[in-house]
Structure 1
Amino acid sequence: MRFFCLFFWIVLTGCRGHYLSIAREPVGPEFLASTFVRAPDPMRKKTMEGTRLFVSYRLPFSLDPQEHKIVLEVLFKDFSVQKWIFEMKFRSGVESVTFVDEEFRERRGILGYRAVLVNQKAVVIDERKSSFMPPLKK
């Protein structure tokens, strides 16, 4: 039993994990809160389309959250780029960006995205990106 516990402790603590993760989720009327509680809502009858990006982060104790920020770059299918900077207040959390209806249609959807964890000196600590995200000019 000791060997078993020691083996799993070594395996689970031996690798450095990533501090960032990105999830992409479609947005439609079925994702409204009123759908889950079965409340009447005129928005459910409306045709709604879009997408939502979730950037979750978890910092180790060796990194101070006040000295780091997350830079999110989104490349749209019309080849426009939008950039957000999220200041971090806690060691873990989730930031989200939603594109629905007109904004989503005029940009024709998301082509790629990148989230970068940087410190105050703009040194990249961690980076997560979609499979199609070309290098962008600074």
Structure 2
Amino acid sequence: MTDADQPKLRADAARNVRRIVDAAHAVFRRGGLNVPMEEIAAEAGLGIATLYRRFPSKEELVKAVLDQEFNDVIAPALERAQREKDPRKAVGLVMEAGLSFASQEHSGSGRDRTAASIAGDRSFSGVLS
């Protein structure tokens, strides 16, 4: 199912999704991907049932965190690169964003755990190669 196929969430449900993803991002940064889902729910200030209603598995939550990070960091760099007239500068913009993203968020064992969690998912196969 694509994003266009999914029903639009109510405003409160959309806020809950964002709270969960933001909380997961913070908790994963502190403790890696092996933290319990209950810790993420507590960080978000929501019940565990709400978390599982939106993200039935940790893998789906990890994918949502990566999607958010991509949209926040890499997508804007790609948009700037498309507007850049000098191809070298365009490539530089994307490389700079990618390196910054990788060094800040996914260094060391955290990156390895993230890659292991999403290995085999075709939607992220380009990220891992």
Which is strand-richer, 1 or 2? 1
Task: Indicate the TM-score class for this superposition, using the shorter chain for normalisation.
Answer: under 0.3
- State the TM-score, normalized to the length of structure 2: 0.22
- State the TM-score, normalized to the length of structure 1: 0.21
Which is helix-richer, 1 or 2? 2
Name which structure has the greater RCO, CA cutoff 8 Å, separation 6+.
1
